[in-house]
Homo-oligomer: A and B are copies of this chain.
Amino acid sequence: MPRFALKVEYHGGPFSGWQRQRDQPSVQGAIEAALARLEPGAHTIAAAGRTDAGVHALGQVAHCDLSRDWAPFRLMEALNYHLKPQPVAIVDCAAVAPNWHARFSAQERRYSFRLLMRRAPATHDAGLVWQVPHMLDLAAMQEGATHLVGHHDFTTFRSSICQSASPVKTLDMLEIRDVAGQGGPELGFELRARSFLHNQVRSIVGTLERVGRGAWAPQDVRRALEARNRAACGPVCPPQGLYLAEAVYPEDPFTRGALADQAAPARKS
């Protein structure tokens, strides 16, 4: 059976998360239902990251097996047609080898997080950012973040229901920047690792927010990490600022993907 990689963008708001659940809308369920409109029968797709309820994706990657040898561009178009009006879009699609796996072949996940510091409610960005009603000390947060980068036991920063075999992970990147370069109002977090523990990003962001508002000192982050105790963690922040930004593979499956079919228009002069 031909296997296809799908790059998926979604708004997590209406979904109980990525993973299919009985009686709850899920992103996986939405895509599997769209696949069933193309080729009748049951479909089960795998994904690079299983995002929680309310978490968004810019570049989730999934794979599916189909019996027909679809042209990637046609498959993308057909899926997007059947996904409407749900806020899920296939933004690229490529044929991959039968042993290629969206989850097991991935060598890195990248998450981003949007934090809006202002009192006035968000309008255009409602549901797309975590809003706090006070300013935060970015330099203190950046200093706190340095304690988390590297190879650590992240027991403090994983949820009690995390199913990972080990709490030891390597966090390769944790950067926080002033998005507009004007001292606010938006902070952007970028995190990279081979894999993440359940609630790891939201536990980290929630803890660093405590540092940013002066409730914790930057070095309190190290103490929390070294405690290896969930109770030492700051509060888990809400999901709506979190985005699965990218999944990285040894070879990018999308270099000859569906988007390559889109040509620039001929210029009239």
A contact residues vs B (CB 8 Å cutoff): 9-11, 56, 76-77, 80, 83-84, 87-91, 118-124, 126, 128, 134-137, 140, 212-218, 262-269
Contact = CB atoms under 8 A, between A and B. Distances in A.
A10 B123 contact: yes
Nearest to A218: B269
Contact of A123 (B11, B76, B121, B135): B11
Contacts of A87: 123-124, 126
Q: What is the total number of copies of this protein in its complex?
A: 2
Contact of A137 (B91, B134, B137, B267): B267
B269 A77 contact: no
Contacts of A216: 268
Contact of A268 (B56, B120, B134, B217): B217
Given A80-B119, A124-B128, A214 B266 contact: yes
A82 to B, nearest CB: 12
A264 B121 CA distance: 19
Given A89-B123, A134-B262, 9 more contacts: A9-B123, A9-B124, A11-B124, A76-B119, A83-B121, A87-B126, A89-B120, A136-B265, A137-B265
Contacts of A268: 140, 214-217
A243 B214 CA distance: 36
Given A10-B123, A11-B124, A123-B10, A265 B90 contact: no
Nearest to A266: B214
A265 B121 contact: no
